[in-house]
Amino acid sequence: MALSISTTSTTALITILLLLSGGSSTMASNESINIPKFDIDQLEFALNLEYLEAEFFSWGAFGVGLDSLAPNLTMGGPPPIGVMKANLSSFVRDIIAQFAFQEFGHLRAIKSRVKGFPRPQMDLSAVAFATVMNNAFEMHLVPPFDPYANDINYLLASYVIPYVGLTGYVGTIPKLQSPTSERLVAGLLGVESGQDAVIRTLLFQRALSKVTPYSFTVAEFTSKISKLRNDLGKRGLKDEGVIVPLVQGAEGRIAGNVLVGDQNSLSFDRTPEEILRIVYGSGEENKPGLFYPKGADGRIARSYL
């Protein structure tokens, strides 16, 4: 008797599993049907930084952006202000071109799962990046920092962005409710952290070089930018330059800091609020500015405006 009940329930379970797997594959054509509202908001929030990276890398490498290379991904949002082609060596240009296409894929991947929103107004002008550097050094650099001038300046400007996305994804994953969105964000995190590692490695290689015409080294620029992000985020130390005091390095035993991590070398996390405080440059999630003069889009960012 016991045996037959268990056989019956096993059969029923297998039937249910078959139905479920059949059901989910027929729904794969519109996966957002499976995605809870909470997850949709988190995924849409990510679009803000992905749009920014797509445009900055695409323009930097090719001198054109989404409007020329993937117009459907803009959903009609306005082109970014002040972005331009960077004066890059062929080696760095090739890397940035790869990053650009990776970001196009990220935008498409997110939008294949959630409706999303048009490209928000972004300011990627030299002035915006010069402002970041002035705020980081708490002084006016003369001449103003030009992100597009050469490899090293462009890599320093690039240092400003993917890491913020990375910490956001680390913060998002444990809060997500559906495996579909967890898988997506894990995939985004993997490549964003790879981009961050490449940028940091190229900067680490030049860590002790001066960033001409200034008297500061590459390592000093990274430390100042990281400190600024820590200050704006207002949640303690989550950001470190490529050379740190020994105590901040891996195991508290090494000054080289090609990857950022906590005491156990695990990635730091940030909330959408912390990210907005940083990318707005204002330290306030309800005060847009800097890279998003009209604010970021999606339900989370809009809820603060």
Identify the CA nearest to 40 among candidates 105, 122, 101, 117. Answer: 117
> Cβ closer to ligand NAG: 32 or 180?
32
Q: What residues contact residue 207 under an 8 Å CB cut-off, 6+ apart?
A: 217, 218, 219, 222, 242, 243
Peptide bond into 143 cis (omega under 30): yes
CB of 152 to ligand NAG, least distance (A): 8
CB of 271 to ligand NAG, least distance (A): 25
Tell me if 61 sits within 8 A of 100, measured CB to CB.
Answer: yes
CB of 113 to ligand NAG, least distance (A): 9
> Cβ closer to ligand NAG: 153 or 248?
153
> Cβ closer to ligand NAG: 115 or 299?
115
Residues in the chain: 305
> Cβ closer to ligand NAG: 76 or 236?
76
> Cβ closer to ligand NAG: 101 or 304?
101
The 10 Å Cβ neighbour count of residue 254 is 12
> Cβ closer to ligand NAG: 33 or 246?
33
CB of 251 to ligand NAG, least distance (A): 36
- Burial 161-193, CB ≥16 within 10 A → b, else e: bbbbbbbbbbbbbeebebebbbebbeebbebbb
> Cβ closer to ligand NAG: 32 or 121?
32
CB of 13 to ligand NAG, least distance (A): 30
Tell me if 69 sits within 8 A of 55, measured CB to CB.
Answer: no
Structure tokens at 77: 């949002």
Rg (CA), the chain: 22
Identify the CA nearest to 53 among candidates 169, 170, 161, 130. Answer: 161
End-to-end CA distance of the chain: 64
CB of 14 to ligand NAG, least distance (A): 30
DSSP 8-state symbol, 238: -
φ and ψ at residue 109, rounded to 5 degrees: -65, -45
Binding site for ligand NAG (CB under 6 A): 30, 32-33, 72, 87, 115, 149-150
Q: Is 289 helix (H, G, I), strand (E, B) or coil?
A: strand
Residue with tokens 């117009």: 71
CB of 217 to ligand NAG, least distance (A): 16
> Cβ closer to ligand NAG: 10 or 112?
112
CB of 30 to ligand NAG, least distance (A): 4
